[in-house]
Structure 1
Amino acid sequence: MLKPGTIYEAIGGQEAVDKIIDSLYKHIGKHPKLIPIFPDDLEESARKQRLFLTQFFGGPNLYFQDRGHPMLKRRHMEFEITPDRKDAWLECMNKALEEANIEEPYRSAIFERLTMTAVHMINTEA
C-alpha cells in the first residue's frame, strides 16, 4: 500500500531520484537501440531527466522552472522513438529502479506511470 504524500517523499526524495538517474544513464549509454538517439555526452540529457522525474514523482517543480511545460511528445519529435526503443528505455529504467533499491509498491507504481508515458512517446513504427 502506498503511504500518504508523494512518491518523491516515499522513495527518499532527491537522493533517490539521483540514484535512479545515475543508473539509468549508465544503461542508456550502453544500449545499442538507444545510443543512436542520444548525444555522445549524456550529461545534459541526465540533467533534464533528473528535473523531470523530480517533478513527475511529486517533488519540487524543477522541470517547469527550468524548461516550462514538459510537452514531452513535442520535445521528442526530432528523435525516432519506435516501440523497440520504448522497450529499451523501459528496460534501462527497470534496471535503474532495481539498482537504486526502490521498494515496492513504489517501484511498480513508478514503472507503470513511466510505461504509460513511454508508450505516449512513440512517434514512428519503424
Structure 2
Amino acid sequence: MNEIRRGTLQEQTFYEQVGGEETFRRLVHRFYEGVAEDPELRAMYPEEDLGPAEERLRLFLIQYWGGPTTYGERRGHPRLRMRHVPFRVDRAAHDAWLRHMRVAVDELGLSQEHEQTLWNYLTYAAASMVNTPG
C-alpha cells in the first residue's frame, strides 16, 4: 500500500508493513521472556529488571526498520559492537540469543517474506556481536 507524503509517493517502511510499534513491542517482549529464563544470557544483563534492556532493543529495532528515531535521539549512534564489548559473546551466547529470538519471531505470524527479511537481519546481527571464540 502506498501513501502520499510531502507530495511524493513512497512505499511504506518495513516497520509500517509489519504493524508498527505493536509488532516490535510483542517481538522484543517475547524475546526477553526467554532471556529471563536463560542463565547464560541473563548474566549479560546487569539490571535487576530487564525492562531497560527491552526498551533499548525495541527502540533500536523500531528505528532500524524505519519507525521513529527515538533510539538515536536518546542514545546516539547504535555502536552495537562497542556496547557489547563488556560482555562475553561466544557461539553459545549467539545460539541462545537466536533460539529465543526465533520463538519470538515465529509468534508474530508475519508473512513469509517479512519473516525472512527480519530473520536474515537478526542472524546477521547476532553473528556480528560475537566477540569471543568458542
TM above 0.5, yes or no, is yes
* Structure with larger Rg: 2
RMSD between aligned alpha carbons?
A: 1.2
Structure 1 equivalent of residue 5 of structure 2: none
Bigger RCO of structures 1 and 2 (CA < 8 A, at least 6 apart): 1
- Match status 1:66 vs 2:80: no
In structure 2, how many angstroms separate the alpha carbons of the residues matched to 1:80 and 1:43?
A: 21
Structure 1 residue runs without a partner (length 5+): none
Q: Is the CA contact (8 Å cut-off) linking 1:23 and 1:100 kept in structure 2?
A: no
Aligned residues: 123
Please say which of residues 11-20 and 36-45 is displaced more in the overlay. Answer: 36-45
Percent identity over the alignment is 34
- Match status 1:32 vs 2:43: no
- Match status 1:50 vs 2:58: yes
Structure 2 residue runs without a partner (length 5+): 1-10
In structure 1, how many angstroms separate the alpha carbons of the residues matched to 2:110 and 2:88?
A: 30
2:16 alignment partner AA: E
In structure 2, how many angstroms separate the alpha carbons of the residues matched to 1:90 and 1:102?
A: 17
In structure 2, how many angstroms separate the alpha carbons of the residues matched to 1:103 and 1:91?
A: 20
Per the normalisation by structure 1, the TM-score is: 0.91
